[in-house]
Structure 1
Amino acid sequence: MPALVRPTETVRESFLAAVEEFRAEGRGAVDDNSMLGRDIARWAPRWQEAAVFAAYVEETLADAREDARRPRGFVPSTVLWWVDGPEFLGRLSIRHRMTPRLLEWGGLIGYDVRPSARRLGHGTAMLRASLPRARALGIDEALVTCDFDNVGSRKVIEGAGGVFEDRRAEKLRYWVPTGPPDEG
């Protein structure tokens, strides 16, 4: 049964296969400014080496720390992988706080399902499974965005309880509750 886990070296082979699927659809190109795109551009040429992959896992885990090195304007982010045994199915990032750019474009939770695992319910299940973790980080409602023409992602967000707010440029913006309403 698939589960969200902290990044781990144990799924390296299937992770590398997933990266090749992402690359085949253009991820990691110069204009791909997503977390996955940046990771592919930076690490993919060397991920085949076990020590390099271990360093990548370590750096990805460290990004949740406030004092971790990250690009200017980026916030701490908890990255989780959606795996089924040794099979890497996707990744999800929970940003710990909002910035003006995230409010407009990126949201607090971003996710990627590997192409061969799409349309099987993994995106919705992964997003739903992340909500208690977001709540534990103090996030009552998570902004989740998607491209206006990405029907699959819209269905994922709505399936996880997302409430449509508006469209800003090419992005649709949804607010997803992370738990039951606070009483009091």
Structure 2
Amino acid sequence: MTSLVRPAMIWAASWTDTVRDFGALEAMNGSGHWHAEQVEATAEGCARFIATVLASESADPAGTRVASTYYWIADCGPQASVDGEIVGFLSLRHELNEFLRAEGGHIGYSIRPARRRQGHATRALALALARAAELGIDDALVTCDDNNVASARAIERCGGTLDDVHNGKRRYWIRTTASTDA
């Protein structure tokens, strides 16, 4: 079962495996990795990453960062126990700034290469849309690279309507209240 879990050290071993599976920071879209200068696939690196990401969840005074909630996408039971596995990363942005309106959207996510094509992106996006609705976001902007067919399909399965393609990004709007049944 796909779940959204908060970053925590109980997931360190699985997080480390996931980071190694991605291989490069650039492949970890939606993860919040841009807040960490360097991600080490170790328990110590996980602890630093958690501290950095959780500290960056509030908006900054300059307006370059909006309030966000970071999740790890896990394949686990309903209790989200440590017996599960981290399969990806997700960032839920509570509002949009100019950059996010153009390219990033309210929700960014990425599934580790070894766990793709198993429905995790669609299920995680549906869970994130339900959380966006709880924050009062009625229509969520979700983007993906124009050539990312798998992500476009996940977005469309969750009710995404293509608005446009801008700077190589497909921009979709999803009504949050109608998208929680995916």
Q: CA RMSD in A?
A: 2.6
- The equivalent of 1:136 in structure 2 is 134
Letter in 2 for 1:10: I
Q: Take 1:43 and 1:70, find their aligned partners in 2: how far apart are those partners?
A: 24
Please list every run of 5 or more consecutive structure 2 residues that lacks an aligned counterpart in the other structure: 77-82
State the distance in 2 between where 1:48 and 1:173 align: 35
Aligned partners of 1:60, 1:70: CA distance in 2, in Å?
17
Tell me the secondary structure at the aligned position of residue 100 of structure 2: helix
Q: Say whether 1:38 aligns with 2:27.
A: no
Q: Do the aligned partners of 1:63 and 1:70 also contact (CA within 8 Å) in 2?
A: no
Moved over 3 A (4+): 31-37, 69-72
SS in 2 for 1:154: helix
Q: Is the 8 A contact 1:28 1:36 kept in 2?
A: no
Distance 1:33 1:134, change over 3 A: closer
Q: In the alignment, which residue of structure 1 is the partner of 2:71?
A: 80
Alignment of 1:165-176 (within 5 A): 165-176=163-174
Matches of 2:10 and 2:128, distance apart in 1: 21
Q: TM-score, normalised by structure 1?
A: 0.82
Query: In 1, distance between residues paired with 2:22 and 2:63?
Result: 26
Percent sequence identity over matched residues? 37
Matched position secondary structure for 2:88: strand
Q: Deviations over 1:7-57 (max 9, x none)?
A: 11111111111111111xxx325x988655525x62423x5244x523422
* Structure 1 stretch displaced more, 144-153 or 130-139: 130-139
Q: CA–CA distance in 1 between the matches of 2:161 and 2:140?
A: 10
Q: Alpha-carbon deviations, 1:87-137, whole Å to 9, x = none?
A: 101111011111111111111100010111100000000000111211122
Instruction: Give ranges in structure 1 of 5+ residues lacking alignment.
Output: none
Equivalent-residue separation in structure 2 for 1:34 and 1:5 (angstroms) = 15
The 2-side partners of 1:34 and 1:144 are apart by 11
Paired residues of 1:147 and 1:172 also in contact (CA < 8 A):
yes
Whether contact under 8 Å (1:3, 1:82) holds in the other structure is: yes
**What amino acid is the match of 1:7?**
P
Structure-to-structure mapping, 1:1-184, within 5 angstroms = 1-23=1-23, 27-28=24-25, 35-38=31-34, 42-45=37-40, 47-50=41-44, 52-66=45-59, 73-83=64-74, 84=76, 85-180=83-178
Instruction: Compute the TM-score of the two structures, normalised by the length of structure 2.
Output: 0.83
Aligned length: 172
2:58 partner letter? R
